DNA sequence: TTGAAAGCGCTAACAG
DNA sequence: CTGTTAGCGCTTTCAA
């Protein structure tokens, strides 16, 4: 229990608290002699500055929060990893919050029972409604990730979901596929993300003169590989036929691959499959997965930039950054 | 900028700060009339207690840290998810720290530049040496995850790696496999984890009268699917033959599956493969993966229990909890 | 049951 | 270049 305070160091070194503080914080105006004397005392007493007291005095926490539904989902895991690294490199600590499937928890992120906990929040909403988002905009700066229709005044960072969805669909069409299924959107309460991807999907189909068959929209009762496997399995068992599957995310794609495999359907020969997020593991699926690849570094950096400006006092209008994306073409839907 | 303080509420309600504090903290001795009056003022002013000030006054942060090398690794992602949920349910917030591949960063976790940042740390070390661990034991309570030979006085939680490794190896032997490769341990600086798994592996082999062929120990230059794929690929291309591959973790198994597939080696017919951790995605690999399944909930709960006791003031000897595990048998190494 | 006042450990004016 | 002195916003004895 090393309970050594700044004051103790000051006394030990025979200087004032201010001087010790100056040394600890690397302020310029300290004579070398005094500095080394203070440093020696710090060493001798094993002094460590108290983070909480510093926070209270400065008003800054040096901490950011990242809120996602569940970090065990590969995309969120990679996002968290990237943002954590970035936060560290910029001198912030990262608080992790999981909102699960609850709108309540997402609201709580925004409201935050306490104030002064973090300087800012990077938040990827999954279930909360738009007007809720607007209503709960608080004092703590927030940057929204992957949210299309953000309320006024809120910063957002995302890739162009609609455009990316079109590109993927066009890729599938170039492969000569005409009966393209959409897999993995929510059966109830379509998320903004799913909506945008569906939009791009349908647009590309229409532009190509292909039919948009409602029967080919395979919704799931959860955002998971299991749910997608069930949905695709049930569709196949029910006699539905298609030659391509545009999956809402990589997990859905993995589920689809599994359902197809169990029924002896060949990928990509019989059915081409695409994913979304391009998480590391899709390079090791069998077959490897063609997927939309968001530029995660760019996304994270943009989010941090916007957030730091807000933390720094920016009070202007909401900015909307579109991060770049690409299509990683692999075995499940190869080049034409 | 809702800068409303406890004092403001007190004035607005015409009571003292103490009374407001009592209401905010749900202390018993407040008359219903006063309470509702205070509540009304809180509502009217939009008061939110300041977390930092509370911390400074109480000395408790209500925050725990989780330190792992990289949350983008599926096992750590699932671990983080589990621990985060548990922390929340017990009233803690969770700070995420990534140590990457640097021993320095692991040391920093233990030393912690500042004090009073978190109440306790759950730490899964990857690279730090034992004596380092011992040297840097600090004032902040720590529970070590997955570390075999922990220094005196430190609490640890892990599954019995050696036993689990034996069981998996025995499973492979029951399948009639005799040339079993070990895939994915570090080429340089064997980690405690790898060492234990190797031990169990070799013990089982010896007990069965099978030969432990050093050529079949396929180390990797990194803990990743890519590295494992390279190592297994190179071995196969070099003419090495084996009928089973015990992989250090699921990622290595995924890499091994990939290397085998590209060379037309059938799994499990020609080579049976096992993984370790049993992350969700192994249920969607092709073939699905047989793997050691640690009881993550038990692990997380034990770690939290131990940590809370330390936070609560326990100063006794280090406790060592062994969490249960099982073997999830799937396609890559089916039942005999 | 409620109030007044003294810290928690540090930073930041403002002097000197 | 260094010291003094207020706070930061809350909790918490100790009285009333």
Please report the pLDDT score of residue A1 as a whole number: 42
Mean pLDDT of A290-307: 98
Determine the residue among B21, B51, B69, B268 to mutate to test chain A binding: the one whose Cβ has the most chain A Cβ atoms within 10 Å. Answer: B51
Please report the pLDDT score of residue A2 as a whole number: 52
DSSP H helix total and E strand total for chain B: 12, 12
CB B292 within 8 Å of CB B275: yes
How far apart are the C-alpha atoms of B192 and A166, rounded to whole Å? 49
Packing angle, helices A74-89 and B74-89, rounded to 10: 80
Q: What are phi and psi of A143, to 5 degrees?
A: -120, 130
Q: To the nearest whole number, what is the mean pLDDT of chain B?
A: 93
Packing angle, helices A32-45 and A6-13, rounded to 10: 120
Q: Residue A33 pLDDT more than 90?
A: no
How far apart are the C-alpha atoms of B296 and B158, rounded to whole Å? 10
Determine the residue among A63, A80, A99 to mutate to test chain B binding: the one whose Cβ has the most chain B Cβ atoms within 10 Å. Answer: A80
CB contacts, 8 Å: B116 with chain A: 50-53
CB contacts, 8 Å: B50 with chain A: 114-116
Q: Residue A3 pLDDT more than 80?
A: no
CB A118 within 8 Å of CB A87: no
H or E element, residue B110: helix B103-111
CB A272 within 8 Å of CB A183: no
B137 and A CB contact within 8 Å = no
CB A218 within 8 Å of CB A236: no
Question: Range with the lowest mean pLDDT among B21-30, B33-42, B44-53, B157-166?
Answer: B21-30
**Residue B87, CA distances (Å) to A81, A96, A111, B92, B301 in order:** 19, 11, 19, 5, 9
Residue ranges of alpha helices (H) inside A32-73 are: 32-45, 51-58
pLDDT digits (tens, 9 = 90+) for B90-115: 999 999 999 999 999 999 888 877 88
Radius of gyration of chain A, Cα coordinates, nearest whole angstrom: 25
pLDDT digits (tens, 9 = 90+) for B114-161: 888 999 999 999 988 877 777 777 778 999 998 777 778 899 999 999
Peptide bond connecting A320 to the previous residue in cis, omega within 30 degrees of 0 = no
Return the number of other C-beta atoms located less than 10 Å from residue B134's C-beta. Answer: 13
pLDDT digits (tens, 9 = 90+) for B69-82: 999 999 999 999 99
More confident residue, B303 or B140: B303
Whether CB of B55 is under 7 Å from strand D: the answer is: no
User: For the residues of A171-233, what is the DSSP string, one character each?
Assistant: HHHHTT--SEEEEEEESSS--HHHHHHHHHHHHHHHHTT----GGGEEEESSSSHHHHHHHHH
Question: pTM for the full model?
Answer: 0.95
CB B226 within 8 Å of CB B259: no
**Residue B126, CA distances (Å) to A92, A108, B252 in order:** 23, 34, 16
Residues 234-263 of B with CB under 8 A from A: 254-255, 257-258, 261
Please report the pLDDT score of residue B2 as a whole number: 53
Return the number of other C-beta atoms located less than 10 Å from residue A3's C-beta. Answer: 11
Yes or no, beta carbons of B48 and A285 under 8 Å apart? no
Q: What is the Cα A260 distance to its own chain's centre?
A: 29
Taking Cα atoms as reference points, which of A103, A141, A140 lies closest to residue A125?
A103
């Amino acid at each position: 229990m090393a309970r050594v305070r700044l004051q103790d160091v000051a006394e030990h070194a025979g200087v004032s608290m201010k001087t010790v503080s100056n040394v600890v914080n690397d302020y310029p105006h300290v004579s070398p002699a005094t500095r080394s004397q203070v440093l020696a005392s710090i060493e001798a007493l094993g002094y460590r500055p108290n983070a909480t007291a510093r926070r209270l005095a400065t008003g800054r926490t040096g901490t950011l929060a990242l809120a996602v539904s569940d970090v065990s989902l590969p995309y969120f895991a990679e996002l968290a990893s990237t943002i954590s690294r970035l936060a560290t490199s910029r001198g912030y600590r990262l608080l992790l919050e999981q909102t699960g499937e609850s709108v309540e928890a997402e609201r709580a992120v925004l409201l935050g029972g306490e104030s002064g906990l973090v300087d800012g929040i990077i938040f990827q909403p999954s279930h909360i409604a738009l007007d809720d988002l607007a209503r709960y905009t608080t004092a703590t700066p927030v940057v929204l990730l992957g949210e299309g229709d953000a309320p006024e005044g809120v910063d957002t960072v995302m890739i162009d979901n609609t455009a990316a969805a079109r590109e993927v669909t066009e890729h599938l069409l170039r492969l000569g596929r005409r009966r393209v299924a959409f897999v993995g959107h929510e059966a109830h309460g379509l998320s903004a993300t799913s909506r945008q991807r569906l939009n791009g999907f349908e647009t590309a189909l229409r532009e190509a003169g292909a039919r948009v068959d409602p029967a080919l929209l395979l919704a799931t009762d959860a955002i998971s590989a299991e749910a997608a496997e069930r949905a695709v399995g049930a569709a196949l068992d029910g006699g539905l036929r298609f030659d391509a599957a545009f999956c809402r995310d990589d997990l859905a794609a993995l589920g689809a691959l599994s359902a197809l495999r169990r029924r002896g359907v060949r990928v990509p020969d019989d059915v081409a499959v695409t994913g979304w997020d391009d998480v590391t593991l899709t390079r090791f699926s069998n077959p490897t997965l063609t997927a939309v690849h968001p530029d995660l570094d760019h996304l994270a950096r943009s989010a941090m930039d916007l957030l730091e400006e807000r933390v720094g006092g920016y009070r202007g209008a909401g900015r909307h950054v579109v991060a770049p994306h690409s299509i990683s073409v692999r075995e499940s839907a190869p080049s034409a």
